Amino acid sequence: MHALIFEYTAVNKTGTEIAGERDAETERDLAVALRAENLLLVEAHHKGAKKGFDLNIDKYFSFLKRISLIEKVNFSRNLAVMIGAGLSLTKALDALQQQSENVKMKELIGDVLTLVTQGKSFSESLRKYERVFGVLYINMVESGELSGKLEHTLKLLARQMKRDYDLRAKVRGAMIYPVIIFTVLLGIGVLMMVYVVPTITETFTQLKVKLPLSTRIIIGASNALLNYYWAIILVTAGGGYGVYRLVKTPAGKAFFDRAVLHLPAFGSLVKEFNSARLARTLGSLISSGVTITKALEITASVLGNSLFSGAVADAAREIQKGIQINVIFKRYPHLFPPLVVQMIGVGEETGTISKMFLRLAIFYEAEVSEKTKNLSSIIEPLMMVIIGVVVGFFAVSILQPIYGSLGNL
C-alpha cells in the first residue's frame, strides 16, 4: 500500500493545537505515529481532498445515529477492563475510540480524550455529554475517581445499565402484544368503515328498512370518516399533542403517573418497576461512595414516575433533619409496601443500607420479570373479549336490519 500525504491537526499534552503534513499509509498509522511523539490526532484528511466530495456516508448522516444504552454498557465495561489491566485512562480511551463503529460514539470518545489530555478529570470531561450519560453516571464516575475505585465504579455502572436495559426490555416486550392487536383491530375497523359499510348502506336504502340505533351509529361513523377524514386527523393530532403538552407540565404528569399506578394489572407492575430502579440506583450510588443525601437527590432526578421522584426528593430534604429514610418512606404506603420500609429500616440500624437496597433491587427485578411473563396470560383473554364485543356489535348492527327486511317480505 502506498503512503499518502495527510494534512492533520493534533494537540500536545498542554492542549496546544499543532497542524502539519505527514506521510502515512492510513489515518490509524498517522495517529499511532503522532501518539509516539505525545501528540493526539484531532483531525486528518488526504492532502488536496478538502475540495473534493467526501463519500463517507456515515459522516453526512451521523446526526441520524444515536448512542444506545448497550453501547454505553460496552463502553463502561471495556474501559473498566482496560484500566484494570493497567492501561492509563488516555490509552484506554484512545483504544476504545479506534474500536468504536458508531460515528457519534467515536466523536464523543475523541472529544472526552482531548479534554482528559488537556488536564481535566474524566468526570469533568463527561459532563459536556450529560444528556448522553445522565447525571447518575457522571456523579458515580466522579465518586469513583475521588475514592480511587474508578474500575469498580465503571463495572458497577455497566451492571446497573445492563439490568436497567433488561428491565425496560421486559416491560416493552409485555406491551408489544396488546399494541399489535389494537393496531390490527383499528386498521380492520377503518377498512370496514371505508369499504364495507358504504355498500351495505346502499342496500339498506334500497330496501327502505327502519334501522336500529346501533346500525345508525355505524353508518354515521362511516360517513364522518369518508367526508370529514381531514377533520378527524386534525382533531386526533391536536388532541394527541395537547395530551403530550399536558403530561409535560408538573400537574399533568402527576395526574398521569397517579392514574397509571391505579390501572388493573399494570399498576402493580409500574410500582415494582420503579421500586426496582429506585433501589438499584440508591444501592449503586451509596456503595460507590456517594453520600446518602446526594444519592437521594440524584435518584429523585432520574426516576420516571413523578410520585416516586417526589417521595425520594422529600427523603433527601427530611434526612438532613435527622429523620431516617424508612420513616419518610412510611408516609407513602401507596408507593412503598411494608417490606421496603422494614428492609430499609434494618439496613439503617445495621449500617448495611446499600446492601439492603441492592437486595430490594434483586427482589423487585425478579418480580417484574415474573409479572411480565404472566402478563400475556392476563392480556390475551381480555383482548379476546374486547375483540368479541366489537365484532359482535358490528355483526348485530348489520344483520339485524337484514333479518328485519326479510321478515317483512
Query: Residue 163 — pLDDT band, cuts 50, 70, 90?
Result: confident
Within 10 angstroms of residue 142's Cβ, the number of other Cβ atoms is: 21
Spacing of C-alpha 23 from chain mean position: 45
357: closest CA among 369, 348, 366? 348
Q: Which one-letter DSSP state was computed for residue 6?
A: E
Compute CA distances 137 → 12, 168, 242, whole Å.
Answer: 29, 18, 33
Task: Give all domains of the chain, ordered by start, each with its CATH number.
Answer: 4-55 (3.10.20), 62-162 (1.20.81.30), 266-371 (1.20.81.30)
* 189-206 mean pLDDT: 83
Per-residue pLDDT, 237: 92
Q: Is the pLDDT of residue 405 over 70?
A: no
Asked if 200 and 182 count as a contact pair (C-beta separation under 8 A), the reply is no
Residue 388 near residue 396 (C-beta atoms within 8 A): no
What does the pLDDT look like over 370-400, one tens digit per residue? 887 777 677 777 778 888 888 888 888 888 7
Q: Which of 35-44, 187-196, 400-409 has the highest mean pLDDT?
A: 187-196
- Per-residue pLDDT, averaged over 56-67, amounts to 49
Range 300-323 average pLDDT: 88
Mean pLDDT value of segment 252-279: 85
Which of the 8 DSSP states describes residue 211?
Answer: P
Q: Which region among 30-34, 89-93, 99-103 has the lowest average model confidence (pLDDT)?
A: 30-34
For the chain, give the mean pLDDT: 81
pLDDT above 70 as % of the chain: 91
Note the pLDDT tens digit of each residue in 220-244: 888 888 888 888 889 989 998 998 8
Cβ proximity of 156 and 139 under 8 Å: no
Residue 38 main-chain phi, psi, to 5 deg: 65, 35
Look up residue 334 and give its amino acid: H
Mean pLDDT of 84-101: 85
Residue 53: per-residue pLDDT: 42
CB neighbour burial string for 351-364, b if at least 16 within 10 angstroms, e if fewer: eebbbbbbebbebb
- Among the residue ranges 8-17, 98-107, 208-217, the one predicted with the least confidence is 8-17
Give the burial class of 41: count Cβ atoms within 10 A of its Cβ; 0-12 exposed, 13-18 middle, 19 or more buried. Answer: buried
Q: In this structure, what DSSP letter does residue 398 have?
A: H
* Residue 100 DSSP label: -
280 versus 52: the higher-pLDDT residue is 280
In the chain, pLDDT over 90 holds for what percent of residues?
Answer: 2
Has residue 301 got a pLDDT over 80?
Answer: yes
When pLDDT is averaged across residues 54-79 and rounded to a whole number, the result is: 67
- pLDDT surpassing 70 at residue 66: yes
Mean pLDDT of 132-138: 86
Q: Quick one: which of 168, 31, 194 has its CA closest to 113?
A: 31
Distance from C-alpha of 29 to C-alpha of 184, rounded to nearest angstrom: 55
Rounded Cα distance, 212 and 218, in Å: 10
d(CA 136, CA 290): 10
Residue 62 has pLDDT above 50, yes or no: no
Nearest to 383 by CA among 80, 160, 174: 174
Alpha-helical (H) ranges within 288-352 are: 292-302, 306-318, 325-329, 338-350
At 61, list the grid cell. Answer: 448522516
Residue pair 290/157 in contact by the 8 Å Cβ criterion: no
If residue 402 lies in a helix (H) or strand (E), which one and from where to where?
Answer: helix 353-407
Judge whether residue 99 has pLDDT over 70: yes
pLDDT at 206: 76
The reported pLDDT for the residue numbered 184 is 85
Query: Three-state SS for 107?
Result: helix
Q: What is the pLDDT of residues 13-61, one digit of tens each?
A: 666 777 888 887 777 677 777 777 777 676 777 765 444 444 444 444 4
pLDDT above 60 (res 346): yes
Contact assessment for residue 320 and residue 312, using Cβ atoms and an 8 Å cutoff = no
* Residue/partner pairs of 245-253 with CB below 8 Å, 24 or more apart: 250/306, 253/306
Cα separation, 147 vs 127, whole angstroms: 19
Q: Confidence band (pLDDT; 50, 70, 90) for 65? A: low
Question: What pLDDT does residue 406 have?
Answer: 62
> Computed from CA positions of residues 307, 249, 282, 318, in that sequence, does the dihedral angle turn out positive or negative?
negative
pLDDT the model gives residue 19: 81
